[in-house]
Amino acid sequence: MERHPTEFDVLIVQTASSPVSGTAAFREEDVKVWIGIKKHGFYFKNSEAKKRISQYFGSRFREIGKPFVYLTVKEYKALKIATDAALGNNAFYLCESPNHESLGQWQGFVERVLDLCP
């Protein structure tokens, strides 16, 4: 996204938007929602999880001023709790590690993204 050095996994943009000429960046006003995606969430020690995850999702994500949704294929329970504390209802997990128990959150993820797209 223009004027933001952060790497974005997925941007949902206005219909008929196109990247700024000569770049892969979209204009900030064209972006509706951005999505962060991980195969396996975080690898912090449980004792550090809350602080480190809060820092990770801290000011650089908030200063962008666009809705952010996080999706991970799997996450450890303790780190899931810390991520939920940082992101609230904008964090989704397909499975919980280490047993890969399905959490069935795909539909919730899709619904949340659609809710955030005006």
pLDDT for res 50: 79
- HEC string of 81-108 equals HHHHHHHHHHEEEEEEECCCEECCCHHH
Contacts of 16 (CB under 8 A, 6+ apart): none
pLDDT for res 52: 79
Three-class SS of residue 37? strand
| Bond into 98 cis (ω within 30) | yes
Distance (Å, whole) CA 116 – CA 118: 6
Q: Where are the domains of the chain?
A: 10-116
Three-class SS of residue 75? strand
Structure tokens at 92: 């989704």
Instruction: Show pLDDT as tens, one digit a residue, over the chain (118 residues).
Output: 676 766 778 889 999 898 888 888 888 889 899 888 988 877 777 778 778 788 777 766 677 778 889 999 988 888 888 888 888 899 999 988 887 778 889 999 999 999 998 7
pTM: predicted TM-score of the whole model, two decimal places: 0.83
- C-beta of residue 116 within 8 angstroms of C-beta of residue 109: no
Three-class SS of residue 36? strand
